[in-house]
Amino acid sequence: MALDNRTQNFGEFNGLITVQDPIEIGFKAFTKAENIDITADKKIKRRKGNTASLAATIDSAYIDDEIFLYTTGANLYQYDGTISTLIRTDLRTGGNIAAHTLNGKTYYSDGFVTGVISGGVSRSLGLNRPGSAVLSATTGNLPKGRYQVVLTYERDNGQESGAGDPALINLTEDNSGIIFNSIPMSSDVDVEKVNVYLTTTDGMEYFLAAVVDNGFSSATFRDTTHALQKPLLGQYHKPIPAFTDAASYNGRMLYACGDTVVYSEPFDYEERDERYNFIILPEAITMIAPGENGVFIGTTKRTNYYSGSDIAQASVDDTTNAGVVPGTLSYIPAEYFGTNEGVDSLPMWTSHKGICIGQADGSIVNITARKVDVLKGLKGTAMFRHEDGQNHYVSVINS
């Protein structure tokens, strides 16, 4: 029988469909699609090519409107579109860089070390606490009684660490003073001062008693307790631990640290109160996605929505039992989807059950559930683009 070689015309294409039997799909959709785009008129066209910008072996990368970071082995680089600048060389080989830029500073971690980049220079994220001083009695104007002393470090920009463990001294006589010996030096090059805080007689609250330059090992307090005026405000502050994701929401930074979301103090993005500033989930956290009125937090098994203006007082809604593929979060203009009036953008990500959009009211819409089966990826990356009248969420999944 002779073959019919006439050209067959197709009026439109409906994109990729994998949840149906190929026989039922017919000729107006694809069971596999490579290097093509669908236009606004549902025509197909070859996807645009690309131009190489950077020749490097890249293990992981982070990019936003202000900065492009990438890792090669244990090295961290910043790329400005022309030149790669080495930032540091002590990352853990095999780590995955995560970061967030806020107010011109980029807070980053590879899951093992942390840092902040500002003006192309990296420094430590937060300050470690000092150790304790060694106390001895001298003459002065303090009454006899029990006194406690703690130390903090202070950076050249005024940032202060939390307090180290207290040292205790019992003064057995009136008209005494206290010598603070063996004040530990910080190895952080940005630390300028060590602050010495002292309680009042038999008290529990700490007040500034002395300030020494970093590297000086001793100081003395001989005044009365009336001189103790400035209180210690951040006694329980600790620097942020290594993280795998980060985001900002209403004056706080949120960090994914294993199965725990650690959130900063308000407008102090590098410190958290170790007593309170955390949320523990049943599984490892794979996404932190702030929305208009709350935060979507995804894990390997579920996505929760924390509604409220402050994460510290947010109420929890267990929104969906679908886990999130880490690295696939992007943001889309809200005008392109739904009726989110007055909202600028919406978070969009790849879950283990499809591509999802987080609505302003905290609900989640799975836009591919009826069309495409999504692989349960280990990690991925994603971007959003608006081109030729079409909205494209592009994700690459490592399964």
- Average pLDDT of each block of 10 consecutive residues along the chain (399 residues)? 59 62 61 68 71 86 94 96 94 93 97 95 96 98 98 96 97 98 96 98 97 97 97 96 97 97 96 95 97 95 95 87 93 79 88 91 87 78 81 83
Distance (Å, whole) CA 380 – CA 37: 21
Dihedral angle of Cα 195, 200, 203, 207, to the nearest 10 degrees? -30
Q: Are residues 138 and 167 in the same domain?
A: yes
Distance (Å, whole) CA 262 – CA 274: 9
Examine the fold and report which residue of 126, 156, 179 is the final residue of a domain before the chain moves on. Answer: 126
Range(s) of the domain holding residue 88: 53-126
Q: Is 197 in contact with 206 (CB distance < 8 Å)?
A: yes
Q: Is residue 204 part of a domain?
A: yes
Dihedral angle of Cα 305, 308, 309, 314, to the nearest 10 degrees? -80
Q: Is residue 6 part of a domain?
A: no
User: pLDDT at position 14, please?
Assistant: 62
Distance (Å, whole) CA 151 – CA 164: 6
Q: Is residue 75 part of a domain?
A: yes
Query: Which residues does 51 contact at the CB level (< 8 Å), separation at least 6?
Result: none
Output the six-digit token pair for 180.
């603070």
Q: Is residue 97 part of a domain?
A: yes
Give the β-pairing of 114-118 and 121-123: antiparallel
User: pLDDT at position 378, please?
Assistant: 85
Q: Are residues 279 and 357 in the same domain?
A: yes
What end-to-end distance do the CA atoms of the chain give, in Å?
A: 45
User: pLDDT at position 9, please?
Assistant: 61
Q: Are residues 148 and 278 in the same domain?
A: no
Q: Are residues 394 and 258 in the same domain?
A: yes
Q: Is residue 377 part of a domain?
A: yes
Q: Is residue 41 part of a domain?
A: yes
Q: Are residues 149 and 200 in the same domain?
A: yes
Q: Say which residue the tokens 């439109």 belong to.
A: 12
**How many separate domains does the chain show?**
4
Examine the fold and report which residue of 237, 270, 300 is the final residue of a domain before the chain moves on. Answer: 237
Q: Are residues 300 and 344 in the same domain?
A: yes
User: pLDDT at position 27, please?
Assistant: 58
User: pLDDT at position 176, please?
Assistant: 98
Q: Is 58 in contact with 41 (CB distance < 8 Å)?
A: no
Q: Is residue 3 part of a domain?
A: no
Q: Are residues 255 and 328 in the same domain?
A: yes
Q: Is residue 4 part of a domain?
A: no
Give the β-pairing of 390-398 and 271-273: unpaired
Distance (Å, whole) CA 187 – CA 123: 12
Examine the fold and report which residue of 126, 152, 171 is the final residue of a domain before the chain moves on. Answer: 126
49-71 b/e with 16+ CB inside 10 Å = b? eeeeeeeeeebbbbeeeebbbbb
User: pLDDT at position 2, please?
Assistant: 55
Q: Are residues 245 and 155 in the same domain?
A: no
Task: State what percent of residues in the chain have pLDDT above 90.
Answer: 70
User: pLDDT at position 21, please?
Assistant: 61
Q: Are residues 32 and 181 in the same domain?
A: no
* Angle (CA) 381 383 389, round 5°: 150
Distance (Å, whole) CA 229 – CA 223: 12
Q: Are residues 59 and 33 in the same domain?
A: no
pTM for this entry:
0.86
